[in-house]
Chains A and B, each alone.
Chain A
Amino acid sequence: MMDELDKAEIRKIAYNCKKATFLIEKKQIDKITIREELELKIHLAGCSVCRIFQQQSIIINQMVKSWINSSPQEKKLDENYKNQLQNIIQNRIKKN
C-alpha cells in the first residue's frame, strides 16, 4: 500500500499544509490511518513551517492541560464573597 503513492500524489502531499496541520491535530486526539501517518511523515520531512506548527501545537495542548492541575492558590475566591456564601448557606440551613 505504501509504495502505491505516485509522484503526483507525493507532490500534492508535500504542498498541502492545510491537510498536514489537520492531521497533526487529529493525531494528538485520535488515531490516524497508516496512510495518513505516511502522508504526514512525507510532508513534515520537507516542510519546516509545519514542523514548527506541530511543535507549537503540542506545547499549547500541554499548557492547557497543565492549567487543570494548576496550584489552587493562584485562583482564590475573595474573602468577602466567601463570607457572603457562608451566610447564604447558614440561612438555608436554618430554614430547613
Chain B
Amino acid sequence: MQADKTLTIKTQEVVLPNPQQWVLLYADYLFGFAVTRLNDENLAKDLVQETFLAALEKIDLFKGESSEKTWLTAILKNKVIDVYRKNASAFTKNILVKEALQDQADFFETSDGHWNPVHWPKEFGVENQEPLLNKEFNQILQKCMQKLPALWSVVFTMKHMDDEPTDLICSTLKVSPANFWVIIHRTKLNLRACLQKNWI
C-alpha cells in the first residue's frame, strides 16, 4: 500500500524498498557493522532488529536517493552513536574510572616522564610478519579493547575505526579537547601493555 503511494509520486526510476528481502540481504552486513564497533554480539543483534523496525516505521521517508543498504546503515550508525553517548555518560559516574586513571599514572615516572622500567615496551616478535593477518594477535587486541573503560573504548573506536573528526567526537561525548588527547594517549598505552602482557 505504501509502495503504491510512493509510486504515484515518484518517477519510475525510483528504487522501492523491499523489507521482505532485508534480512536476507543486509542482516549479516549490519550485524558485522555493529559488532565491529561495539564489541558486543548481543547488543549488536538488538540494534539490527531495532534498525529494521525503525526503517519500517519511516519507510515513507526512503526516497531511493541512496541504496537501501546505505539507508539502513545510516539508521544503524545513529543507533551505535546513541550507545556511545550512553556509555560515555555512564562512565563519568563510574568510580572504576578513577582507579583506571590511577593505574595509568605509573606508566611513567612522575618526576621526569621517563618510562617506569616495569612498563618498558618490548618487541612483540610479530612486527615484521604481517601482524595484521595474525588471527590470534587480532583476537587478543579485541579482548584488550573489551577491558577498556567504556568512554576510552568509544573515543578510540570513533577515532581509529570510523575516522570521525575530533570536534565531532568531543561534542557527541561531551569531552573537552584536552581530555580527548589524554584519553587517546592513555588508551594506547593501556592497549599496548595489554597486548604485551597477553601475547609475549
For the complex, what is the distance from the CA of A31 to the CA of B108, rounded to whole Å? Answer: 24
Q: Is B2 an interface residue (CB 8 A)?
A: yes
Query: A96 contacts which chain B residues (CB < 8 A)?
Result: 1-2, 56
Q: Is B48 an interface residue (CB 8 A)?
A: yes
Name the residue on B nearest A28 (C-beta).
B160
> Does A49 lie within 8 Å of B138, measured CB to CB?
no
Partner of A89 from B22, B131, B145, B185 at Cβ < 8 Å:
B22
Query: B32 contacts which chain A residues (CB < 8 A)?
Result: 70, 72, 74-76
Query: B48 contacts which chain A residues (CB < 8 A)?
Result: 77, 85
Q: Is B43 an interface residue (CB 8 A)?
A: no
Query: B191 contacts which chain A residues (CB < 8 A)?
Result: 60
Given A60-B191, A66-B132, A88-B53: A77 touches B36 (CB 8 Å cut-off): no
> Does A17 lie within 8 Å of B108, measured CB to CB?
yes
Query: A62 contacts which chain B residues (CB < 8 A)?
Result: 132
> Does A49 lie within 8 Å of B20, measured CB to CB?
no
For the complex, what is the distance from the CA of A85 to the CA of B112, rounded to whole Å? Answer: 57
Name the residue on A nearest B128 (C-beta).
A55
Partner of A77 from B2, B31, B131, B185 at Cβ < 8 Å:
B31
> For residues 137 through 175 of chain B, which have their beta carbon under 8 Å from a beta carbon of chain A?
137-138, 141-142, 145, 156-157, 159-162, 166
Query: A17 contacts which chain B residues (CB < 8 A)?
Result: 108, 113-115
The interface on chain B, measured as residues whose beta carbon lies within 8 A of the other chain's beta carbons, has a size of 53
For the complex, what is the distance from the CA of A55 to the CA of B196, rounded to whole Å? Answer: 13
Query: B122 contacts which chain A residues (CB < 8 A)?
Result: 52
Chain B interface main SS type:
helix
Partner of B141 from A12, A16, A64, A86 at Cβ < 8 Å:
A64
Q: List residues of A whose CB falls within 8 A of some B CB.
A: 12, 15-19, 21-22, 25-26, 29-30, 49-50, 52-53, 55-57, 59-68, 70, 72, 74-77, 81-82, 85-86, 88-90, 92-93, 96
A-B contact pairs, 29 of them (CB 8 A): A12-B112, A15-B112, A17-B108, A17-B115, A18-B107, A21-B185, A22-B181, A25-B188, A26-B181, A30-B166, A49-B120, A52-B122, A56-B195, A57-B192, A59-B132, A60-B188, A63-B131, A64-B157, A67-B36, A70-B32, A75-B31, A77-B27, A77-B31, A82-B23, A85-B23, A85-B27, A85-B52, A88-B53, A89-B22
Q: List residues of B whose CB falls within 8 A of some A CB.
A: 1-2, 19-20, 22-23, 27-29, 31-32, 35-36, 45, 48-49, 52-53, 56, 107-108, 112-115, 120-124, 127, 131-132, 137-138, 141-142, 145, 156-157, 159-162, 166, 181, 184-185, 188-189, 191-192, 195
Q: Given contacts A15-B112, A22-B181, could you give 9 more A-B pairs where the C-beta distance is less than 8 Å?
A: A15-B113, A25-B181, A26-B185, A50-B121, A60-B188, A72-B29, A75-B32, A82-B27, A93-B56
